[in-house]
Structure 1
Amino acid sequence: MHNLSDFVHHHFDKSTGELSDIEKRVLAKAHERKIISTNVNAALQANASLGERLADSIARVGGSWGFITGFLAFLVVWCVANTIVLATGAFDPYPFIFLNLVLSMLAAIQAPIIMMSQNRQAERDRFEAAKDYEVNLKAELEVLSLHQKIDMQVLTEIAAMREELGRLSQRLTS
């Protein structure tokens, strides 16, 4: 392969103009001998807005065992306080209508925040998959390049051996 067009056609089975932006970027990085991998966490964190970081934090806390056990303890204390301790002057007597209101409001706020965080996680997964594809593509190109270099070296050595055999056979016949 003498030029880029031949290389692209041979390895990608398409012309240079048909390459995607990712393939062009990978080819350029491979040609420049530069790395293509990046820290996905740092790249996404740098572009995250305050709301996105807040949603991730709330989802991280809301989906933890610490939150679940703490909230379970809060519910037990609420129920015990309103049935046994404050039997005559309970501020939320059984069937705990105020507690139901609080739990409904919490769920109404927490659910969309967790969904925002899940959407960000899906975006992160797509970004990570794209980066993995780029790194894998560059690795394949580098392996192909190494194969080509080794093949050229072997061909050069075979040609040198043929010349040497020719010289040796001429000496033997003369």
Structure 2
Amino acid sequence: MSSSPAKPTSQHTSDHFRFHRPLAHLSGPFGNDSFALRAEAFARFFGTPLFLGAQTLIVVLWVGCNMAGLVHFDLYPFILLNLAFSLQSAYAAPLILLAQTRQAARDKAHADADAQHREALAVANETRLAAAALNSQQMLTLLQQNTELTEMTRQLTERIERLTVEMHERFVIHGSAP
């Protein structure tokens, strides 16, 4: 008879995302349709080094080409470039603010879920501690009863031994018959 280690079953595997499932509807800050996904990607792209580098390169080329006379579509004071920046700001600022607001709501929902999980763990721990205290009390009661029974058994054994000695003395040593 060999004892092999128990294989984990589906009951033993942990689902580490089980507490985040109630928050799955918060996954995309703008919703889950195609416009929302593109808008979120656009808002995220604004803070990347790639965006800043590309924008700087475009501005340098724009100003350089117009100042050098290679093109003449936006001469100094670069009103078209200012208009492009204003248009970019008009769309970027609301998208970024919306993304921040939705991220704050998502963070709050995750924090609430974590707090509920910690509270559930605390309640479960208190329940386990109460059960352990009850088991300890029951064990102490059983040990006390066992001690009392052992003492009673010892007393009865001593009494039987005395009675046996008395009977032995009466029947064997004194020779008296009933």
Give yes or no for TM over 0.5.
Answer: yes
Counterpart residue identity of residue 58, structure 2: F
Corresponding residue for residue 78 of structure 1: 62
Q: Which residue of 1 aligns with 2:110?
A: 128
The aligned residue for residue 42 of structure 2 is 58
Tell me the distance in 2 between the aligned counterparts of 1:36 and 1:94.
Answer: 60
1:137-148 to 2 correspondences below 5 Å: 137-148=119-130
Alignment: residue pair count = 138
What's the Cα RMSD here?
Answer: 2.3
TM, length-normalised to structure 2: 0.69
- Mapped partners of 1:85, 1:155: distance in 2: 95
SS at match of 2:27: helix
1:36–1:135 Cα contact (<8 Å) kept: no
Note the 1:1-174 alignment, pairs <5 A: 37-39=19-21, 42-45=24-27, 48-50=31-33, 51-86=35-70, 89-174=71-156
Inter-partner Cα distance in structure 2 for 1:52 and 1:125: 19
Which residue is 2:5 aligned to? none
1:78-119: per-residue Cα shift (whole Å, max 9, x none)? 111111252xx5211122111001111110111111111111
Q: 1:74 to 1:39 in 2, by over 3 A?
A: farther
Q: Is there any run of 5+ residues in structure 2 with no aligned partner, and where?
A: 1-16, 157-178
Q: Answer 1 or 2: higher relative contact order, Cα 8 Å, separation at least 6.
A: 1
Q: 1:60 is aligned with what amino acid?
A: R
Q: Which has the larger radius of gyration?
A: 2
Q: C-alpha separation between the residues in 2 aligned to 1:158 and 1:41?
A: 47
Cα deviation, residue 173, structure 1: 3.8
Whether the 8 Å CA contact 1:55–1:116 is kept in 2: the answer is: no
TM-score by length of 1: 0.70
Point out where structure 1 has 5 or more consecutive residues left out of the alignment.
1-34
Provide, for residues 109-144 of structure 1, a one-character-per-residue CA deviation record: whole Å limited to 9, x for no partner: 111111111111011011111111110111111101
